Amino acid sequence: MTFLKAIWRIIMGVKDVLVLCFLLLFFGGLYAILSMAPGERPLHTHEGALLLDLNGSLVEQPQETDPFSALMGSDAPVYEYRLRDVVSALDAARTDAKVKAVVLNLDGFSGGGQVALMRVGKALDALRAAKKPVLAYATLYTDDSYMLAAHASEVWLNPLGAVGLSGPGGSMPYFKGLIDKLGIVAHIYRVGTYKSAVEPFMLSAPSPEAKAASQALADTLWANWQADVAKARPRAKIATYAAAPVQLVEAAKGDLSQAAVSAGLIDKLGDERAFEDRVLALAGEAPSMQEGPAFAAITLADYARAHRNARDGQIGVVTVAGDIMDGEAGPGTAGGDSIAALIDDALENDDLKALVVRIDSPGGSVLASEQIRTALAAARAKGIPVVASMGDVAASGGYWIATAADRIVAEPSTITGSIGVFGILPSFETMLGNIGITTSAIKTTPLSGEPDVLGGIGQDFSRISQLGVEDMYRRFLTLVGQARRKTPEQIDRIAQGRVWDGGTARQLGLVDRFGGVEDAVAEAARLAKIDPAMARPLYIDPEPDPFTAFIARMTGEGEARTHARAASRDLVGYQVARQRTMLFRMLADARMMAEGGSIQARCLECGTFEAPAPTQRAGENGLLALLSRLLG
């Protein structure tokens, strides 16, 4: 009897938890619908410091939170901050008398691309020019976080912290030895001397051409980084600190923070409490209802929502961010169907006079890239000018899309080019033979049962696949040649899958001019015969459903902040975490390449120069897990 009572109590407990979760989700969804409806409640009513407590990465377009993964506690995307939101908030703060200072807390910042970081730095410079104090704080400054902090009027460092500058670069794994040991046969179809994306599957080390290209790109990005930081902090001994860190640390007797001060990288040493006291003197005390810091803080999320762009612009801006894939996909991933549908819907707006396609993608599916390019070409056919604006990366499939534009605008640190295509298909006949499994095939034509990944891919299929890749490369060259007014032969000499920085790409004629998305909007306005000073952007973004948006708010930045604060913030701990994250990303690339059978216009080597997002802790991020911790 006692046992039955215990079972009954367990059943009733489970029922109560389910009812509680249902009520929370119901009222949470209702709140999300109301909070995002027209007539949104007023935001940002008090004075204080605009707080950019960046606990995640800076991206062109944040990925959509998977509500079921977030609820059940499986891995969820790292919190991501939209570049446009950060920039618009900083621009608004420049003339807002209620904003007494801008504060960057970079302890949890996991990075961003160099183009995005430079754009934020430009906005911070404008604040300083307007005599608005900008203060930055961190326990550990890395390349990315220091690139932002350098534009602050005061750079603070925890006395137990450090500035670790490493520059772009790192190890790239090569899987040829493992593939051979496992008995896997990698069938690789490619075009391009520099198409090094597939080299990890066919070589044990990079080819001389690929290594030279990667080194040249890394050197250029590092030079651009140093130039940006040196301009923001001319007294800082950046070159010396990066080239000879051991000597500086030895001179400081092992005190990493003091070494950074001696090199002029840091203005003041102090812990977080001392930093808050400094901001408090500028911004005033926190309101009684405010949680968090002791000073009056205006959160970035609230301030950005209060200063959204009005949806009445004449220049449409469509974002192509992340991997380009076939079919539909949410924000942060460029689904061919989804992006093409957004463009087609935008063209139904009679007030739309021009289009800007903002590209921040290493490429992906050729078919999806062509689908998006075709939609943009249809806009041009209707007399709508199109301008391509390149972000941090616009390579391979990203450049394929850009060929539909009247003009291409990029930044000197944009990673672009990689004009080449490839396909890879593994087969397992050797692996199976090693364990005693053989196959027998019946054919009626040379292509029966192909590609035969069990018994071995036939020569006819391989030959047709290679010819298909070569034909796709010719199509790529033709598209680029027509767009850049050159012959395919001229493009071939600068293509071959090589990745270029934006500065070199402009010299080669792959880019028309330098500038950001604002410059691209102005260029599109001129093409549409609109005064650029009167042009307003209309951002054409996929709209998340209210439930997903609510879950993202519940499990997003707050959880990211918790994990960032819990993570190791010293130099060694950060580098270990960064290398682990890079390994996971490379293994994910290997899995993607092994599973993907479509022809790809993708720049995998671009990932070496992108800021890795921190890994998530499985099973700890879900809303149900959060409720369990709170109730427990």
Tell me, yes or no, whether 21 lies in a domain: no
Residue 630 has pLDDT above 50, yes or no: no
CATH of the domain at 68: 3.90.226.10
pTM of the entire predicted model: 0.84
- Pairwise CA distance, residues 383 & 370, whole Å: 20
Q: Which residues contact 197 (CB under 8 A, 6 or more apart)?
A: 422, 497, 593, 600, 602, 603, 604, 605
Tell me, yes or no, whether 513 lies in a domain: no
Per-residue pLDDT band for 616 (boundaries 50, 70, 90) equals very low
Q: Looking at the structure, do residues 591 and 445 belong to the same domain, yes or no?
A: no
Q: Looking at the structure, do residues 590 and 470 belong to the same domain, yes or no?
A: no
Tell me, yes or no, whether 524 lies in a domain: no
Residue 626 has pLDDT above 80, yes or no: no
Q: Looking at the structure, do residues 597 and 473 belong to the same domain, yes or no?
A: no
- Model confidence pLDDT, tens digit, residues 43-90: 556 899 999 999 889 999 998 765 555 455 545 456 899 999 999 999
Is 15 an annotated catalytic residue?
no
Q: Looking at the structure, do residues 161 and 241 belong to the same domain, yes or no?
A: yes
Is 207 an annotated catalytic residue?
no
Identified catalytic residue from 145, 338, 396, 418: 396
From 494, 509, 538, give the residue that closes a domain: 494
Residue 425 has pLDDT above 90, yes or no: no
What does the pLDDT read at residue 26? 61
Tell me, yes or no, whether 42 lies in a domain: no
Tell me, yes or no, whether 606 lies in a domain: yes
- Model confidence pLDDT, tens digit, residues 509-563: 999 999 999 999 999 999 999 999 999 999 998 876 555 555 555 555 554 454 5
Helix axes 208-232, 114-129, angle to 10 degrees: 10
Q: Looking at the structure, do residues 588 and 489 belong to the same domain, yes or no?
A: no
Q: Looking at the structure, do residues 488 and 601 belong to the same domain, yes or no?
A: no
Q: Looking at the structure, do residues 62 and 159 belong to the same domain, yes or no?
A: yes
Residue 632 has pLDDT above 60, yes or no: no
- Model confidence pLDDT, tens digit, residues 470-510: 999 999 999 999 999 999 999 999 998 889 999 999 999 99
Q: Looking at the structure, do residues 124 and 250 belong to the same domain, yes or no?
A: yes
Q: Which of 158, 151, 155 is nearest to 234 (CA)?
A: 151
Residue 628 has pLDDT above 50, yes or no: no
- Pairwise CA distance, residues 471 & 460, whole Å: 16
Q: Which residues contact 366 (CB under 8 A, 6 or more apart)?
A: 397, 400, 421, 472, 598, 599, 600, 601
Q: Looking at the structure, do residues 156 and 79 belong to the same domain, yes or no?
A: yes
Identified catalytic residue from 100, 195, 353, 486: 195
Tell me, yes or no, whether 599 lies in a domain: yes
Could you list the residue range(s) of the whole structural domain that residue 64 is in? 49-169+191-208+230-307+560-631
Q: Looking at the structure, do residues 572 and 488 belong to the same domain, yes or no?
A: no
From 494, 518, 533, give the residue that closes a domain: 494
Write a three-state SS string for 424-467. Answer: EEEECHHHHHHCCCCCCCCCCCCCCCCCCCCCCCCHHHHHHHHH
Q: Which two tokens stand for residue 431?
A: 């692996």
Q: Looking at the structure, do residues 159 and 285 belong to the same domain, yes or no?
A: yes
Tell me, yes or no, whether 516 lies in a domain: no
Check: CB of residue 77 under 8 Å from CB of residue 559: no
Average pLDDT over residues 282-287: 91
Average pLDDT over residues 450-454: 89
Strand 48-53 and strand 99-105: pairing? parallel
Write a three-state SS string for 306-340. Answer: HCCCCCCCCEEEEEEECCEECCCCCCCCEEHHHHH
Check: CB of residue 117 under 8 Å from CB of residue 144: yes
Q: How many domains are contained in the chain?
A: 2
From 494, 524, 549, give the residue that closes a domain: 494
What does the pLDDT read at residue 394? 95
More confident residue, 360 or 173: 360
Question: Within 10 A of 66 (CB to CB), how many other CB atoms are there?
Answer: 17
Place of tokens 């053989």: 438
Q: Looking at the structure, do residues 490 and 565 belong to the same domain, yes or no?
A: no
Tell me, yes or no, whether 501 lies in a domain: no
Place of tokens 């923001």: 232
